[in-house]
A and B are shown apart, each in its own frame.
Chain A
Amino acid sequence: MKTIAVSIRTTVALMIIVLAYQLVVTGIAQAVMPDKADGSLIYNDKHEIIGSKWIGQNFTSPGYFHGRISSIEYNAVSSGTPNYAPSNPDMLERTKASVEAWKSENPGIPVSELPVDLITNSGSGLDPHISVEAAQVQIPRISKSTGIPEEQLKELVAKHTQDRELGVLGERVVNVLLLNIDVQKTVNGK
């Protein structure tokens, strides 16, 4: 009986401490770095939310750089993948369809230059990045569609390429949303 009483009373005390910990962290985070704490949101000139730096978006128009495949179409109210096993025939079929779609959207570019990250579903369904190769290989299509010279697009890709953290950790990536915002600005600026 005594152990139950101690258990209940200790539980209450610890609940208070754990809640206080989170509220204090929230308070400090909101005071010191409110933008990051709110999800690194990106706004347009009219102060409307475009998206978040960390959350990918669905790009289908030929004039934008495309991101990874997302079975949830980048709807960030949830997250997820189809969880296809390597041996799942549906996965193979989807991948083949992606390769075919790529061929028709990017005529003249050999399939052997198509990087694997563009035809596979990301883990989160919200991957904001693609590999540098995956950005470069799309340049001819975007140039043709928007009229922006390839050289200028190459510069934009270089501008949005993030090197490995501390020079070694992780992979070199390109943030698709930030890159496309610049593409849009360039198109509108002309």
Chain B
Amino acid sequence: MKKINIALIVLAASSLLVSCIKDNYAAPAETFKGAFVEKGTNVPFQTALGNTGIRIRLMEYSWSDTPQPYDMNVKQDGTFQNTKVFKGKYGVTPEGAFVPLQEEVIEIQGTIEKTYEVEPLLKVEWVGQPVVNSDGTVSVQVKVTRGTTNPDYQQEVEKGWLFVSETDYVGDFCYSPNYSTRLTGAEIPLGETITVTTGFPNGTSGTGIAFPNYQRKYFLRFAAKTTVNFSNTERYNYTPIVEVTTGR
């Protein structure tokens, strides 16, 4: 009797040592990288960090037709790199302030590199260099033109911003609420060079807020958007980042 008990206990205990071998999958190791550039010129597509920049939506169709979407975002200069993607078949849809692209099904295995040539809704460019004014503000000149001839995306300009930041991460996701300047659509005539001065976060009336009177670096970027919102999200087209040293 005692022997049987011992045998049973050993049997029961040994079952604890066994487990399913299938539950230990390898970590995701595939790489999906690339860049967004402007069609025709191949200039890097400037954008914001996070969801208000470019969202690349990955739908993994390997197992299901209605998977949970997996979103990734790109860097400010339009490049992206994700080295932790599971191997599989993905429907890839980039979305940003450009003429929409169709979903493309890609088999991600090893390193997949994609260059997306996109047509920005607006083309936003610096004209000349920023100027530090005697009153402590900074003025820049910019020009906004249409980035696409697609007849569906010729909507009017809704608004613009001269974003100012203390770091070189600058855009609608990170800006100084005091030194940045907000413009209405009417203040941004297409194709004309306009002068914008920092320090009007509440619209361009009254006196601007001056930078502190000691020397320091700030980072500026101009952005504009039309009335189009994809996925109900406001996304701007941006200039490259420019650095300015203020101080009187």
Same complex for A and B? Answer no
Residues of A within 8 A of B (CB): none
